[in-house]
Chains A and B, each alone.
Chain A
Amino acid sequence: MNAQAQTAPILSARGLRHSFGSTEALRGIDVDIHPGEVLAVMGPSGSGKSTLLHCLAGVITPDAGSVTYQPGPAVGQSVTISSLNEAGRSRLRLTEFGFVFQFGQLLPELSALDNVTIPLLLNGTRRKDALQRSAELLDRLGLQDNGTKRPSELSGGQAQRVAVARALATAPKILFADEPTGSLDSLAAENVLTQMLQLVREAGTTLVMITHDPRTAAYADREILVRDGAVAAGYQVAP
């Protein structure tokens, strides 16, 4: 048993089920994610891995089952995400979680620096502090000369690194990344992953990364394989 298996999970899902109309996307998923762990969620297209991430991150509420978030060891700190209302889940996503998507989804009319400051301003950080923190993050990601550029003036890899900076700006406990390098060539993907992983590991952030690409998954500590809405044999949580 490894060290991570001995600590309480930061995120734990049990019996997750979710359907879209008559299509069952999740058919009873159990998963434990440990603090500081980098987990790759793999699976073919349509396997349910994005739906799983949306349930884990409180983007949607599963039809059945529970998702429990335990940010620290103190009793009473645990939150059942799947029981929160929309406002509660929104607040949790803003303060505790970060998100990186396949296509950066940066705001096109804002500079790289302003894109990174947005989540900080939204959570009440003073503008001066937000700008300083954002500039530091862009520096760490090798984007010190690109702060004033708009997303359309950046390469795919640069834009994705801005998206990583934005996601990490609020120092989230958990970073969720959905195919973070899916739209990049091999070399740009490697740069984004290496830098994202370095920041995540330094900060002890937990990373849940969806990917269908084994080379991306190989950056993780472990992977689970989702197939037909269920975790494949061999990747299941021990009873």
Chain B
Amino acid sequence: MNNSLALLGLLQRQPSYGYDLKHSYDRYFGTEKALAFGQVYATLARMARDEFILALGDETGGGPDRKQYRITEAGQERVSDWLFTPDVPSENLQSNLFAKTVIALLTDDDAARLLELQRAEHMSRMRALTKLKQGASILQVLICDHGLFHIEADLRWIDLTGARLAQLKKELQGA
């Protein structure tokens, strides 16, 4: 996820202080990993430089935490572009797991074991996310579901690759 654009999107609702923005971000997107204040202020400074946001008068002349920001027209356009530009599917086509599987096959190592280990790790993560859903808010449930469906897609790939290992090995070693 693009943190900067998410922060910019949150600023579309109303002008905010960095402190409040960070807490809004954490509430919606930071379930597992809260955003650091430093990262928020650095992002705000960069977005102000790029004229996506404006500081509304320096209050008590303090640092970035004392400034209230509002989004500019250019900022709104940037958010709109982000929202309505579809993400590229399968951007992880050459994933680390794919690379490890190919290397294991090329070097006669145990690719099946590698996939089994990854499978167990994926299932363990799915169990943790499923547990997190119990009694959680609908917002948290949605985030967990997103994670669960993505991990499931990986698992399907792992299972299918496991079933194709013999064929893959033959092809790779013949290449």
Contacts and interface: CB of A to CB of B under 8 A. Distances in A.
Contact of A44 (B117, B123, B159): B159
A215 B152 CA distance: 7
Contact of A214 (B116, B126, B134): B126
A238 to B, nearest CB: 15
Interface string B149-160: 101100100010
Contacts, number: 37
Contact of B112 (A217, A218, A221, A233): A233
B127 interface: yes
Interface size class of B (residues with CB under 8 A): 20 to 34
A223 B120 CA distance: 9
Contacts of A232: 116
A214 B155 contact: yes
B148 interface: yes
A217 B117 contact: no
Nearest to B110: A233
A218 B134 CA distance: 12
B123 A217 contact: yes
Interface in A212-234: 214-215, 217-221, 223, 225, 232-234
Interface in B109-136: 112-113, 116-117, 119-120, 122-123, 126-127, 129-130, 134
Interface string A128-160: 000000000000000000000000000000000
A140 B15 CA distance: 47
A149 B127 CA distance: 35
B123 A218 contact: yes
Contact of A233 (B116, B134, B159, B163): B116
A65 to B, nearest CB: 24
B126 A234 contact: no
A5 to B, nearest CB: 16
B151 to A, nearest CB: 7
A218 B129 contact: yes
Contacts of A218: 123, 126-127, 129-130, 148
Interface string B136-175: 0000000000001101100100010001000000000000
Nearest to A42: B123
Nearest to B134: A194
Contacts of B119: 225
Contacts of B123: 214, 217-218, 223
Contacts of A217: 123, 126
Interface in A29-70: 44
Interface of B: 112-113, 116-117, 119-120, 122-123, 126-127, 129-130, 134, 148-149, 151-152, 155, 159, 163
Kindly list the 9 A-B residue pairs having the minimum CB-CB distance in the complex, ordered from nearest.
Answer: A218-B126, A218-B130, A234-B116, A214-B155, A218-B127, A214-B152, A215-B148, A219-B130, A215-B152
